[in-house]
Amino acid sequence: MKTRKLNTLEVSAIGYGCMGLSMGYGTTPDKQEAIQLLQYAYDQGYTFFDTAERYAMGANEALVGEALQSVRNKVVIATKFMIEKNDIGDYSPQNLLHHLRQKLENSLNRLRTDRVELYYQHRVNKDIPVEDIAWAMGELIREGKILGWGQSQSTADEIRRAHAVTPLTAIQSEYSIMERRFETDVIPVCEELQIGFVPFSPLANGFLSGKISADTEFKGIDARRVITRFDKENIKANQPLLDTLHRFAQTKDATPAQISLAWMLHKKDFIVPIPGSRKRERIHENAGAAAVTLTDEEFTEIENALSVVQIYGNRADEDIAKLRTLSAE
C-alpha cells in the first residue's frame, strides 16, 4: 500500500479503525477472530492502527496490543485519552501531567509496548486550557513515551493555540462525503500548519458502502440505531448520493466505498482515513481504495455531482450518548 505523512509520521495511506472489533456496532467477533482480522489487515498493507482507552474499557487496546505484538516495530499505533469533567479535582499543569502519565502507562501496558506513535485527546475538555494539555504532551514526547500527539473534533482556534505550545502531529475528526463541515476551517488550518488530518467514519459508518437499505435492521448496542442518517426516511432520502457513487464506481471499475475513499485521498495528501471493518472482504476492499487514482478532471466531476446532492441526517456525539439508554435487544 502507498504511504502518507502525518506531519513527520509515515503511515499507510489507509488506516484501520479498531473500535468496531470491541464495541459500537452490535455483535462483535470473538477474540481470536478479531486478532486474525487485525493481522489480516497488516498483511493487506495497513500499518496505521487506531484505538482508544475508552473502547470497551481498554479491551480494544489489549486486543490491538496482542494482535500486533509480533510486528510492533513495523506499525504505527494511535490511541486516545479522555479527561471528563470532574475526572480530577486539580487542573494545575503538574497534576494534569501526573494524571495523563498514569493514563498513558495504563494504555501502554494494555498495548504491550513502551511507546505509542500518536496520542490523541479524544475530545477537548473546555474546562482545561488546550495550552496546558499541549505542554503535558510535550513532556511525554520528551520522555519518549509518545512520538506525537493530536486532538479529536477540535476547532481551528483550539488547534492553533495547542500547536503554538507543542506542535500537533494530526487531528482526528469525522469527515466523509456525508459530513464535510471541517472543510471550511479545520482542514485548511491543518494544511497551513502541516498537521495531518485523520478522518474517522470516512464511509459514514458504512452508509457509503451502498450495502445498507431502509429495510436494514440494527440491533443491540449498535450506534447506527441512534445516528440519524440511518433513520429509514433518511436512508431513502440519501439514495441519490448512493446513485452518484455507483455511477462513478462503474467508470473506475471500483466500489462506492472505494470511490468515497479515493475522493478523500485526492483532496489533500495529508489526509489518512481510518475505516473500520469486521469482515475480511471489506478490509481488502478498503485497502484497494489506495490504488484507485482519480484524475483532476474526475475529481472535479465528482465534486460537481456532489454539490447538487442534499444530505439528510448526521452523526452527533449527543445522539451516540443516547445509545446507553436503549435496550440491548
Dihedral angle over CA of 214, 301, 17, 134, nearest 10? -130
Kindly tell me the sign of the dihedral angle through the C-alpha atoms of 172, 173, 178, 184.
negative
* Amino acid (one-letter) located at 281: E
3-state secondary structure of 35: helix
Quote the CA–CA distance of 313 and 311 in Å, as a whole number: 7
Quote the CA–CA distance of 274 and 50 in Å, as a whole number: 7
- Pairing type for strands 170-174 and 76-81 reads unpaired
Chain center to CA of 89:
30
Quote the CA–CA distance of 318 and 305 in Å, as a whole number: 31
Q: C-alpha angle 237/293/285, rounded to 5°?
A: 65
What cell was used for 273? 482515513
The catalytic position among 42, 46, 55, 120 is 55
Yes or no: say if 17 and 200 are a contact pair by the CB < 8 Å rule. yes
46 classed as catalytic: no
Give the catalytic positions in this structure. 55
